[in-house]
Amino acid sequence: MSGRIARGALAVAVRLLPDARRERYREEWAADLRDAPAAGVSTAQLVAGAFGVVLRAPRSPEAFGVTQGALAGRRLRWAAAWSMAAVMLALGSFFTTPFLDGGAFGDLRSGVFVVVALIGGVGLVWLAAAMHGLLASRAPGLRWAVSLGVAVLAVPVLAVLSVALVPAMMLGGMLLGVAIAIFAAALPAETDPELRRTRPGLPARLGTRATAFVGAVVVLGGAAFAVVHILVWNPQSKVPALSLPEIYAQMADRGEPAGPSVAYALVWAATWVPLGLLFLATAVFGNRGILRRLDARRIARASLVAVVGIGFTQWVAGFSMGMSIADTFAVSGGDSAVSGLLLTAAATVAGVIVALRVLPPASVARSARAIA
């Protein structure tokens, strides 16, 4: 096993330990890895020993330095994080596999299903662990029965919620940009900088104004890119034999004028403008006055959520145009341009990042340092 792989594996092992033990073992394992060649110990043995420590580490509230209820709450947040990551991947697969299936990538659906199932399974394990901890005072048989029962029942619930996301996007897709802007500007924030420190800290290194400028470019540029995709690139991809004016002219001749569809797409894009302007104002004036809650971390997170929203709701803005083209030229109403694939891929990646970076609880050690 190479040194780089061993370092990565040990970093994973450290993250799997209770918070209070991480710093000790991080330093100890780093020293062991450095001295392994001289001691005649293979990196594989070192990594195996580290994961043995992880498996034997106590998982009681005392080991984490929190109450039973707080530990259960932390585990529920991890369950939500991994479950949301699985949902994001499933949603991204739903929109992207029509582009890739059967081509050079082969049949992707089965492979994606396995990945989604594995990630969702991690979320179910966290859910079962949370329930098991909440029932600590009950008989062991009851604890295991309830924990496993809740995990099993969560599977159809998550499936229904995943399916319900599509009509939910249809209903809320036109308001999501405004909603994100309101929450970003008005949601109360933890004032202690230790609790708001980011890892690896890229927004903090860039600073609030630079992060806000990048966020404005991402939001406004993403919305503009989606509109061009809906009104230009996708129609041309569906009917490549005609120019864009000819496509629109034939739509009008057959009773499917493009005007209402264009207006619908522009209204959708306009709902993202307030968020982009909010970030632009922060880039110019800084986070003062009514912008005081928009620090670098919040802007970065809101920008990621915006990428998710733009990528996964652009089909709402393009629904009218897609159906008009389908009725006029007897083609599919879905995306066919590569730009649609790029939007969905960006939304999927951003969604997984949001799930695994925003939803998990803060480190207990970080919280303790902030309180002290």
Residues in CB range of 247: below 8 A, 6 or more apart: 235, 236, 239, 325, 329
pLDDT digits (tens, 9 = 90+) for 216-228: 999 999 999 999 9
Question: With 0-12 CB in 10 A as exposed, 13-18 as middle and 19+ as buried, what is 160?
Answer: exposed
pLDDT at 207 over 60: yes
pLDDT at 350 over 70: yes
pLDDT of residue 371: 38
pLDDT at 332 over 50: yes
The band of 193, judged by pLDDT with boundaries at 50, 70 and 90, is: low
pLDDT of residue 104: 46
pLDDT at 86 over 90: yes
The band of 361, judged by pLDDT with boundaries at 50, 70 and 90, is: confident
pLDDT of residue 164: 81
The band of 372, judged by pLDDT with boundaries at 50, 70 and 90, is: very low
Nearest to 317 by CA among 236, 218, 230: 230
Lowest mean pLDDT among 41-45, 198-202, 224-228, 275-279: 198-202
- Measure the CA–CA gap between 71 and 133, rounded to whole angstroms: 8
Number of H helices, E strands in the chain: 18, 0
For the chain, percent of residues with pLDDT exceeding 90? 42
The band of 194, judged by pLDDT with boundaries at 50, 70 and 90, is: low
pLDDT of residue 355: 94
pLDDT at 34 over 60: yes
pLDDT digits (tens, 9 = 90+) for 92-123: 988 887 666 555 455 666 778 889 999 999 99
Q: What is the mean pLDDT of the chain?
A: 86
CA 297-300-302 angle, to 5 degrees, is: 105
CA 64-67-71 angle, to 5 degrees, is: 60
Q: What is the DSSP letter of 233?
A: I
Span 258-285, average pLDDT: 95
Tokens 């179910």 -> residue: 124
The model carries a pTM of 0.84
Lowest mean pLDDT among 88-92, 184-188, 311-315: 184-188
The band of 138, judged by pLDDT with boundaries at 50, 70 and 90, is: confident
pLDDT of residue 123: 93
In the chain, domain spans: 3-57, 61-165, 173-372
